[in-house]
Amino acid sequence: MYIMAQNSKPVYGGQAVVEGVMFGGKTSCVTAIRRKDQSIDFFEAPRKSSPFLKKIKKVPFLRGIAAIVEATANGSKHLNFSSDRFDLDPSEDEKLKEKKESKLTMILGVAVIGVLSFIIGKVLMTLVPVFLAELTRPIFSSDVAQIVVESFFKFLLIICYIFLISQTPLIKRVFQYHGAEHKVINAYEKGIELTIEGVQSQSRLHYRCGSSFILFTVIVGMFVYLLVPTDPLWVRIVNRLALIPVVLGLSFEVLQLTNKLSSFPVLKYLGYPGLWLQLLTTKEPKDDQVEVAIASFSRLLVLEEKKAGTTQNKVV
């Protein structure tokens, strides 16, 4: 999940985790979760980015891929923290020290595992619609028809997947925290005081959400695929895999564009399909969930101010 503040406000990213919310700023990332005893626990980490990714993030069409890799890597660490602790009473924290990590995690690390999981998921969501569309070739034989059918299956898979997982109690609560995350950002951007009442008055939808990005990959992919052949099948598979970075990069730019146009009376509707998808990926949060989101964001603002002050002192 990715959000940017508008106008002159700083840039912030966010992500719902198990029983909590993670927010990231320029220098720090903070996760707040609700523990089993109803207390709020925090995980703070400096926001790290490799020199290579920093350079890539300045290049249009490539910056989206770099942002995805960085957000997935950082988010995985915070998601791991929340999933380890949310159902433990603080008195049982010693058990975490005794917990043995899998050999794969020890070798590659949480961040790399997260990126690999994203890549595998993206490959599956790209190739499964290809095979489903190929089954309809006797009916839809032209290249254009095949691409439309393939995009339809991809969209259908995404919607069905999101709907099915949202029926589980755990994911439903994650989606509620997702809504709380958006509400906090909306309140912050509008200058509304970050109280439970003020935040709850805001929309749970936001133009910069990663859910919108997912939908744009379907739409952008459909147009990109029109430039390459769909037959034979092995060529189609190779094309789809090779074009994954292209589709991701272009979709990120489209997401950026729709946010910039969100204040224009007519052009703002370009971002509406992404907002509609968020009706599935976000749920109205409860007050105690909003409280956790506010705590996370407030802690982040404090850390960001401290880091900014330290930097200024060094310059002086």
Maximum distance among all Cα pairs of the chain, rounded to whole angstroms? 72
Q: Is 24 helix (H, G, I), strand (E, B) or coil?
A: strand
Res 316 pLDDT > 70: no
Please give the pLDDT value at position 103: 47
List beta partners, residue 135.
Answer: none
Please give the pLDDT value at position 311: 46
List beta partners, residue 30.
Answer: 23, 44
Report the half-sphere exposure of 160 (CA within 13 A, side-chain side): 7
CA angle 105, 107, 112 (to 5 degrees): 60
Q: Is 185 helix (H, G, I), strand (E, B) or coil?
A: helix
- Check residues 111 and 205 and name the one with the higher pLDDT: 205
Please give the pLDDT value at position 98: 54
Q: Which two tokens stand for residue 156?
A: 């259908």
Instruction: Write out pLDDT tens, residues 8-56.
Output: 567 677 889 999 999 988 888 899 999 888 889 998 888 776 777 777 7
The residue-averaged pLDDT of 271-282 equals 85
> Lowest-confidence range among 38-42, 147-151, 253-257?
253-257
6 confidence band (pLDDT: 50, 70, 90):
very low
Nearest to 35 by CA among 43, 44, 45: 43
What percent of the chain clears pLDDT 70, i.e. is strictly above it?
83
Q: Packing angle between helix 244-260 and helix 110-135, nearest 10 degrees?
A: 100
- State which amino acid sits at residue 9: K
- State which amino acid sits at residue 91: S
Mean residue pLDDT of the chain comes to: 82
- CA-to-CA distance for 107 and 308, rounded, in angstroms? 35
